[in-house]
């Protein structure tokens, strides 16, 4: 009898072990969520753990890893080595045109370094995206933009978590007359032309806790980099505070027809080394960016067939197909490079920081960069707008975290902050008489990226369920203290003309999320972990 009982016990142990082995073979792999440190961004830091706990409750094995912004950028964009990541796009003024945000899900941008690190590939989406960029009728283009948002929202290659308000503070005793722009607040490219010193100090000091990762215009991919570089390099077109395209390095521009745009270059411009800016430099720049396949600008340059010099001041841009955002986006984004410097550089993306040329033609000339501590640009006196500026330069002081930067603002070490205050700092800033606050809604967004190249994120049902397990409202109401709006589309509600109100919304509902997974064949083992559908 004892022998039989022993045999049964052994069989039960073996059966249990076999079941456990089966579960481990079919169990979904651990999900690593890349997030940021509390010092860098307390909202995304806390959001990462809230989301991780909710996904765990749904049956996923979750690990939340906090990394430096540069590390996350490298892993997500340049290596695409991640599972899920809390990322975001800033609200640069050119992005009010929906083209950039929509391009972040175009398959051509799924390459290493591209703006589609999620690796989303959908031929139907690509067709609609390409149609909207070629549609010159605004109303017809709007319908296509809405359709693209619908396709993306249903597929959930990423989920927009929220659109955080841009709340920025400045010292009202040192500088005044800041320009405010939609989405960018006062930290925009027009403020240097309008801001007025209230003391003898004519250097505007900006406090930051995130440093540019590069000063190489052929490698810079984020708004942090370009908010600095756009003051060193001129563009042909600049968007006004009212989102109107204005001639800048261009004296004028004209759409000759649907396929040709002619630009007349402004007379008398020089680079910071004194060499004149010519149409040869403009042609070289666009050809150089295309030849080196700079992924960040790829979507903007792809429709360009060729550039042709018409005369000593005029250049023609011929398009393969009509391209609606060419003037407002492409011409306002490509920085004019000095041909006499860059034509000798064969591998621009491989330049080490000390070898990167810092010569542009913009209103400010590069002066100094002590990495991790300090950066300075000085007014270029020969710029065509130099006489209209009341400041002599801009210096950037880098702090270890947001609290250090906020303390620097209160103590008068800096005149303003670059990028927004965190919600917990806003009430304290309002108590300071020498500080003023600007608050504008943002059309940028924070997103949870899913790496669609990997299991289980290659399954739409999993992506939808994960999104339904994110309590976006709590993130906005509690972590943002209400300074923001829940997101459902890459085109924000504040960008009302282009925003699609009717996109599919996968709202927070754990029971519904479990049902989506169950309907797709996923199942839970005895330990509560999710397993792949049985074959």
Q: What is the CATH number of the domain that holds 282?
A: 3.90.76.10
Q: What is the CATH number of the domain that holds 67?
A: 3.10.105
Radius of gyration for the chain, computed over Cα atoms and rounded to the nearest angstrom? 26
Pick from 439, 468, 501: which residue ends a domain?
439
Pair (453, 524) in one structural domain: yes
Cα 419 → chain centroid: 13
Pair (66, 140) in one structural domain: yes
Residue count (the chain): 535
DSSP SS3 for 430: helix
Report strand pairing: 203-208 vs 393-398. parallel
What is the pLDDT, as a whole number, of residue 204? 97
Pick from 439, 469, 489: which residue ends a domain?
439
Between 1-5, 145-149, 189-193, the lowest mean confidence (pLDDT) is in 1-5
Reference 98, options 517, 515, 532, 494; nearest CA is 494
Pair (316, 251) in one structural domain: yes
Pair (457, 527) in one structural domain: yes
What is the pLDDT, as a whole number, of residue 18? 45
Residues 6+ apart with CB under 8 A from 5: none
396 pLDDT above the threshold of 80: yes
Indicate the DSSP class of residue 260: E
Reference 216, options 90, 113, 303; nearest CA is 113
Residue 513 inside a domain? The answer is yes
Handedness of CA 469, 474, 480, 484 (dihedral sign): positive
Residue 3: pLDDT band with limits 50, 70, 90: low
Pair (447, 515) in one structural domain: yes
How many angstroms separate the CA atoms of 436 and 170, rounded?
6
How many angstroms separate the CA atoms of 483 and 283, rounded?
44
**Number of domains into which the chain is organized:** 3
User: pTM above the 0.85 mark?
Assistant: no
Domain of 79, in residue numbers: 31-164+443-531
How large is the average pLDDT for residues 283-298? 88
224 pLDDT above the threshold of 80: no
Pair (39, 144) in one structural domain: yes
Task: Give the largest CA-CA distance in the chain.
Answer: 105
Pair (450, 393) in one structural domain: no
Report strand pairing: 484-486 vs 158-164. antiparallel
pLDDT digits (tens, 9 = 90+) for 236-253: 999 887 778 899 999 999
What is the pLDDT, as a whole number, of residue 198? 97
Report strand pairing: 62-67 vs 31-36. parallel
How large is the average pLDDT for residues 133-162? 95
Pair (180, 97) in one structural domain: no
Peptide bond before residue 456 is cis, with ω within 30 degrees of 0: yes
Reference 74, options 30, 38, 117; nearest CA is 117
Peptide bond before residue 26 is cis, with ω within 30 degrees of 0: no
Give me the percent of the chain exceeding a pLDDT of 90: 70
Residue 499 inside a domain? The answer is yes
Residue 18 inside a domain? The answer is no
How many angstroms separate the CA atoms of 193 and 384, rounded?
12
Residue 508 inside a domain? The answer is yes
Q: What is the CATH number of the domain that holds 370?
A: 3.40.190.10
12 pLDDT above the threshold of 60: no
Residue 402 inside a domain? The answer is yes
Pair (375, 259) in one structural domain: no
Q: Per residue in 323-352, is it b (16+ CB within 10 Å) or e — as a string?
A: bbbbbbbbbbbbbbbbbeebeebeebeebe
10 pLDDT above the threshold of 70: no
How many angstroms separate the CA atoms of 326 and 304, rounded?
9
Pick from 439, 465, 500: which residue ends a domain?
439
Indicate the DSSP class of residue 476: I
Pair (196, 278) in one structural domain: no
Strand partners, 169: 437
| Token pair recorded at residue 388 | 């209209």
Residue 353 inside a domain? The answer is no
How large is the average pLDDT for residues 121-147? 95
Pair (85, 49) in one structural domain: yes
Pair (144, 62) in one structural domain: yes
Residue 329: pLDDT band with limits 50, 70, 90: confident
17 pLDDT above the threshold of 70: no
Reference 170, options 394, 398, 439, 436; nearest CA is 436
Other C-beta atoms lying within 10 Å of the C-beta of residue 214: 20
């Amino acid at each position: 009898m004892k022998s039989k009982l022993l045999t049964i016990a052994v069989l039960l142990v073996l059966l249990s072990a076999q079941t456990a082995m089966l579960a481990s073979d079919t169990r979904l792999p651990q999900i690593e969520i890349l997030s940021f440190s509390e010092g860098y961004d307390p909202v995304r830091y806390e959001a990462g753990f809230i989301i991780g706990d909710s996904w765990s409750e749904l049956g996923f094995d979750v690990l939340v890893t906090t990394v430096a912004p540069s590390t996350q950028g490298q892993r997500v964009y340049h290596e695409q080595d991640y599972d899920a990541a809390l990322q975001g796009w800033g609200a640069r003024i050119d992005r009010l045109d929906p083209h950039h945000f929509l391009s972040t899900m175009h398959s051509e941008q799924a390459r290493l370094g591209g703006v589609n690190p999620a690796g989303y590939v959908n031929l139907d989406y690509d067709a609609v995206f390409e149609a909207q960029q070629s549609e010159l009728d605004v109303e017809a283009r709007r319908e296509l933009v809405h359709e693209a948002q619908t396709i993306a929202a249903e597929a959930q290659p990423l989920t927009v978590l929220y659109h955080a308000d841009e709340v920025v503070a400045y010292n009202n005793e040192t500088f005044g007359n800041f320009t405010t722009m939609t989405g960018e607040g006062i930290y925009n490219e027009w403020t240097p032309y309008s801001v007025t010193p209230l003391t003898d100090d004519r250097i505007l000091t900006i406090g930051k806790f995130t440093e540019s990762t590069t000063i190489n215009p052929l490698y810079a991919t984020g708004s942090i980099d370009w908010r600095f570089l756009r003051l060193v390099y001129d563009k042909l077109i600049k968007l006004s505070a009212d989102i109107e395209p204005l001639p800048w390095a261009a004296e004028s521009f004209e759409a000759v027809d649907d396929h040709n745009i002619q630009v007349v270059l402004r007379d008398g411009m020089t680079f910071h080394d004194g060499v004149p800016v010519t149409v040869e430099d403009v042609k070289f720049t666009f050809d150089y960016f295309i030849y080196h396949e700079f992924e960040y600008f790829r979507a903007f340059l792809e429709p360009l067939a060729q550039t042709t010099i018409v005369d000593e001041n005029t250049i023609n841009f011929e398009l393969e197909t009509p391209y609606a955002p060419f003037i407002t986006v492409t011409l306002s984004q490509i920085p004019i490079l000095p041909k006499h410097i860059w034509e000798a550089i064969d591998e621009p993306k491989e330049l080490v920081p000390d070898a990167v040329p810092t010569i542009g033609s913009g209103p400010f000339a590069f002066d100094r960069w002590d990495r991790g501590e300090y950066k300075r640009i000085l007014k270029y006196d020969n710029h065509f707008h130099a006489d209209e500026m009341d400041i002599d330069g801009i210096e950037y002081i880098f702090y270890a975290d947001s609290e250090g930067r906020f303390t620097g603002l209160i103590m008068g070490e800096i005149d303003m902050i670059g990028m927004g205050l965190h919600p917990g700092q806003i009430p304290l800033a309002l108590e300071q008489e020498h500080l003023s606050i600007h608050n504008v809604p943002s059309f940028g967004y924070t997103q949870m990226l899913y790496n669609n190249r990997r299991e289980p994120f290659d399954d739409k049902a999993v992506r939808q369920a994960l999104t339904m397990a994110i309590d976006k409202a709590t993130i906005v109401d509690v972590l943002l203290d209400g300074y923001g709006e829940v997101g459902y589309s890459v085109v924000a509600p504040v960008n009302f003309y282009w925003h699609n109100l009717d996109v599919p919304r996968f709202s927070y509902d754990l029971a519904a999320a479990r049902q989506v997974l169950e309907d797709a064949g996923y199942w839970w083992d005895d330990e509560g972990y999710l397993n792949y559908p049985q074959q």
